[in-house]
Amino acid sequence: MARLESRRAAVKLPKRGRESERDAREQRTGSFAEALAKHEKDPNIGIEKMRMWRNAFREVGNIAGWHIHDRYESTIIQEISGSISTKLNSRFSHHDYDKLVAINSRVEDMMNLLAMESNDVCFFGIHGMGGVGKTTLAEIIYDRVSCQFEGSSFISCIREESRAHGLASLQKQLLSMVMQEEIHIWDHHQGIKVIRSMLRNKKVFIVLDNVDSDKQLMALAGSHDWFGPGSRVIITCRDSHLLKPHGVNDIYKVEQLQTDEALQLFSLSAFKKTHPIENYEDLSMDFVNYAHGLPLALKVLGSFLFGRMIVAWRSARDQLEAIPNKEILNILQISFEGLEDLQKELF
């Protein structure tokens, strides 16, 4: 960008914004065309330098910008800041989205539940088995809508973090992200008061990921009146019974993938394609059936098998039948722990 600025200064053209992007790009009309035509007649400026300048202005002209028209500059600045913030805080890259399967319908379902046009404060739950994709869904929603709020915060792995560092640490993280400055919290009782005081008039978007106790919820989002009008709070957890007493407005259940969806996701990890390659179809289905429609398990298995010969695939399948892969077992164990006692006995 500095190189473009120096070229613009050398040609002594009007700064971008006073002329249209089209004038800078096409260089056939307006001040850009006049100035460039004048410089072409200068014997001290060579053909190569003119070509370099023209290419530079075409590059500038192709950069999309914001048009003020009849709006206040402060409004445009807020839009630009929001756009930059969204890109910096995005939890997904475009490459990540390419690897997601059966996510669009879930995202649309959640967007409908959020009722973004409402000025009410709303809490929503996302629940399902461990490894089924609750966090992924919440991350996509966060990336899509967080820029529409005065402040936002995505608190990951609350179950593990609360045990390792305590609730006050999570409260500090929530407030610091929303306020964009470091907020000190000494204990979770004080943290509750600070959250209520600082956010009660602020429109915020908060995701509390992997919650497993009412104490965590009461420390981070105890009540609707903690937050300003239009605020949204999403809570992901394995146990829907935890959500109901907390007054959530609606609960969305993330189901396991259907067989065709599971095969596609597994193939993306194992072959970098949406379907198995020749001679690997039956083996792929063995692993898909083993994962029971859990996206995380499918990705772990596919990544482990990527690039391996068919002999290694058969060996891995046979080993899984006898001694389950440790990482897959952990995923399935998380899901098992989320079941009710009666369901565990049946399992």
Residue 204 DSSP label: E
Q: How confident is the model at residue 164 (pLDDT cuts 50, 70, 90)?
A: very high
Q: For the residues 224-229, what does the mean pLDDT come to?
A: 96
Return the pLDDT at 149. Answer: 93
Closest listed residue to residue 170, CA positions, set 124, 212, 128, 116: 212
Q: Tokens for 176?
A: 């610091």
Grade residue 331 by pLDDT with cuts at 50, 70 and 90.
Answer: low
Residue 271 pLDDT? 95
260-297 per-position pLDDT tens digit: 999 999 999 999 999 999 999 999 999 999 988 999 88
**Looking at per-residue confidence, does 114 or 16 come out higher?**
114
Name the 3-class secondary structure at 205.
Answer: strand
38-83 pLDDT tens trace: 777 777 777 777 777 777 777 666 555 556 666 666 666 665 665 5
Order across the sheet with 204-208: list the strands: 151-155, 204-208, 232-237, 122-127, 250-253
Q: Which of 193, 157, 158, 153 is nearest to 175 (CA)?
A: 153
Domain ranges of the chain: 2-61, 83-253, 259-346
Classify domain 83-253 at the CATH superfamily level: P-loop containing nucleotide triphosphate hydrolases (3.40.50.300)
* Whole-number pLDDT of residue 177: 94
